[in-house]
């Protein structure tokens, strides 16, 4: 449960090694963030700068509608990733 901040840090290491529909490999949190920005139009921050290299930083300081829409986009983007070659 959040305790004072408005950020979530979900672990995303299960997606490392997967490929985008375009063939790029998701090597780390940064490459996943770039994919989500480019393909899903959602901005998230790699967790490396916050001591969580296998996580994303997601801000939830927005409306419930915007948050729900963004999480739906992230879900679709992650579902589109292909297994590692």
Burial readout 75-85 (b: 16 or more C-beta within 10 A, e: otherwise): eebbeebeeee
Domain boundaries, the chain: 7-79
Q: How confident is the model at residue 76 (pLDDT cuts 50, 70, 90)?
A: very high
Q: Which CATH architecture has domain 7-79?
A: Alpha-Beta Complex (3.90)
pLDDT tens digits along 28-45: 999 999 999 999 999 999
CA 61 to each of CA 7, 31, 67: distance values in angstroms, whole numbers, following the listed order:
8, 24, 9
Residue 74: which H helix or E strand, with range?
A: helix 64-79
pLDDT at residue 4 tops 70: no
The two structure tokens encoding residue 77: 């983007």
pLDDT at 81 over 80: yes
| pLDDT on residue 5 | 76
């Amino acid at each position: 449960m959040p305790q004072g901040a408005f950020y979530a840090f979900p672990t995303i290491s299960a997606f490392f090694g997967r490929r985008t529909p375009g063939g790029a490999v998701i090597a780390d949190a940064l490459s996943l963030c770039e994919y989500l920005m480019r393909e899903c139009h959602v901005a998230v921050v790699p967790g490396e700068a916050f001591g969580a290299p296998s996580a994303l930083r997601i801000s939830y300081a927005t409306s419930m509608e915007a948050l729900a829409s963004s999480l739906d986009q992230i879900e679709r983007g992650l579902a589109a990733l292909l297994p590692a070659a």
